[in-house]
């Protein structure tokens, strides 16, 4: 195993997601060709520290850094280095799966370092820094000392933020607009990706991707297709369900409850709203007769945002997602919930509430009740807020 092997030991965390995205107009054809040549030199998947350990152990001899340089393309004999600190500005892209040699070659070709060997030697001497390098785009200087270049790349604060942020609770139609605009594609391409045989949607979803597009910040590889992008989001949803210890048989149900929680609750009330959902589902012989009566499900039918409540006409819809007309959960998720909502759905708070209402949408104040009479009082508070905050169309 040599320095050419992949220095990325594991996929970056959700806080620092894998991949990157760059605008074509920021890179000329020469650089694109160079990047393609570099990618063909990628190796496997091991941390540089592991690479060094393997070289030392497999031969059962001690190998000096100078002799290890002979294993590194451009290393050993050609170790010319700049004094630094460098000047000007150059954009360097570190792609997912690139080896240390790939990175060194890119830096050399863009005149960030004087030689691949100098960067390789710096990385060999400081494997902890080398293994800390994450995929992404970095603004660097030309003619930097190799050690300075290594330290710069190892600091995640130096990565240029080019991610695509998908916030919690969006509908898939909204997510497709964001992805299309960010990637120079069309919404229709993402809609077509839903039907692709390469889409890795779990069977539990029953062919419906709504709810499975995990909200996070993504930095997709430049050539990532719509299917690959959707698969990355699905993969994160599966990981979150597993992290919340949700049995596979409960995945779709949990996402459905979580989506209602996402659409109805503020951060402080997620677990309590999840409990209300479960209590109402069980209350088939009580005052709720097993009906959820959630405005968020009606908003989903009409794809309407910005409204605090619903109208009589909207609630009269016979759509299967209308929880004012149909008992039980809707057929599937009504948005794409985040980690907190999924965790709330998986572990609701303890309580016997059957009702809740946000009495002040401006502040998010929400009141919970166990009886219809108590709830009616809370609804009156909301009505008073609504009367004082109607728009020109009479809506609140």
CATH of 24-160 given 3.30.1490.480, 3.30.70.1290, 3.90.480.20, 3.20.170.30: 3.30.1490.480
Report which DSSP code applies to 85: -
Identify which of 111, 120, 177 has the alpha carbon closest to the alpha carbon of residue 143.
111
- Give CA–CA dist 299/166, Å, rounded: 20
- Give CA–CA dist 240/46, Å, rounded: 25
Q: What is the pLDDT of residue 87?
A: 87
User: At which residue do the structure tokens 């989001």 appear?
Assistant: 233
The chain-wide mean pLDDT, for the chain, equals 82
Q: How much is the pTM?
A: 0.63
- Give CA–CA dist 147/366, Å, rounded: 55
- Give CA–CA dist 186/154, Å, rounded: 35
- Give CA–CA dist 128/132, Å, rounded: 6
- Give CA–CA dist 385/396, Å, rounded: 9
Q: What is the pLDDT of residue 42?
A: 41
Tokens of 297: 């499900």
Task: Give me the sign of the Cα torsion angle 311, 316, 318, 322.
Answer: positive
Q: What is the pLDDT of residue 136?
A: 78
| Number of other CB atoms surrounding residue 248 within 10 Å | 12
Task: Compare 333 and 120 and report the one with higher pLDDT.
Answer: 333
Q: Is the pLDDT of residue 23 over 60?
A: no
Q: What is the pLDDT of residue 75?
A: 43
Q: What is the pLDDT of residue 190?
A: 98
- Give CA–CA dist 215/199, Å, rounded: 18
Each domain of the chain, given as residue ranges in start order, spans: 24-160, 164-243, 265-388
Q: What is the pLDDT of residue 111?
A: 93
- Give CA–CA dist 174/377, Å, rounded: 36
- Give CA–CA dist 160/13, Å, rounded: 17
- Give CA–CA dist 388/396, Å, rounded: 9
Tokens of 304: 């309407």
Rounded mean pLDDT, 4-19: 43
User: At which residue do the structure tokens 């894998």 appear?
Assistant: 18
Least confident piece of the model among 5-19, 74-88, 137-151, 376-390: 5-19
Alpha-carbon distances of 379 from 30, 64, 205, 319, 372, rounded to whole Å: 65, 76, 35, 25, 10
User: At which residue do the structure tokens 């080398």 appear?
Assistant: 130
33-91: pLDDT as tens digits: 444 443 434 444 333 434 333 333 333 322 233 333 333 444 444 789 998 888 888 88
Label residue 223 by pLDDT band (50, 70, 90): confident
126-166: pLDDT as tens digits: 888 888 888 878 889 999 999 999 999 998 888 776 678 89
């Amino acid at each position: 195993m040599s320095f050419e092997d992949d220095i990325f030991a594991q996929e970056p965390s959700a806080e620092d997601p894998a991949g990157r995205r760059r605008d074509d107009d920021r890179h000329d054809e020469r650089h694109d060709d160079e990047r393609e040549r570099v990618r063909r030199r990628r190796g496997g998947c091991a941390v540089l520290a592991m690479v060094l350990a393997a070289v030392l152990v497999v031969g059962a001899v001690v190998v000096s850094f100078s002799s290890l340089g002979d294993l590194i393309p451009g290393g050993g004999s050609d170790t010319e280095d700049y004094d630094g600190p460098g000047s000007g500005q150059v954009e360097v892209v570190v792609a997912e799966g690139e080896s240390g040699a790939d990175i060194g070659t890119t830096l050399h070709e863009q005149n960030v370092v004087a030689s691949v060997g100098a960067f390789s030697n710096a990385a060999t001497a400081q494997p902890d820094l080398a293994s800390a390098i994450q995929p992404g785009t970095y603004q660097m200087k030309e003619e930097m000392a190799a050690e300075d270049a290594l330290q710069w790349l190892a600091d995640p604060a130096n990565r240029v933020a080019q991610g695509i942020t998908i916030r919690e609770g969006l509908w898939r139609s909204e997510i497709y607009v964001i992805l299309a605009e960010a990637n120079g594609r069309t919404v229709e391409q993402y809609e077509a990706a839903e039907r692709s045989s390469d889409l890795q949607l779990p069977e539990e979803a029953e062919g419906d991707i709504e709810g499975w597009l995990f909200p996070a910040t993504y930095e997709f590889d430049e050539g990532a297709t719509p299917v690959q992008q959707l698969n990355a989001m699905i993969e994160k949803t599966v990981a979150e369900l597993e992290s919340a210890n949700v049995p596979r048989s409960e995945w779709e149900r949990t996402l459905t409850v979580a989506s209602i929680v996402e659409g109805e609750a503020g951060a402080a009330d997620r677990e309590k709203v999840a409990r209300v959902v479960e209590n109402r589902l069980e209350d088939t012989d009580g005052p709720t007769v097993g009906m959820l009566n959630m405005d968020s499900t009606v908003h989903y039918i009409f794809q309407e945002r910005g409204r605090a409540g619903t109208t009589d006409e909207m609630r009269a819809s016979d759509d299967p997602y209308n929880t004012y007309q149909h008992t039980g959960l809707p057929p599937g998720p009504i948005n794409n919930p985040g980690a907190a909502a999924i965790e709330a759905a998986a572990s609701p708070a303890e309580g016997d509430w059957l009702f809740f209402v946000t009495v002040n949408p401006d502040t998010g104040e929400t009141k919970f009740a166990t009886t219809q009479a108590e709830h009616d009082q809370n609804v009156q508070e909301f009505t008073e807020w609504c009367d004082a905050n109607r728009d020109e169309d009479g809506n609140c």
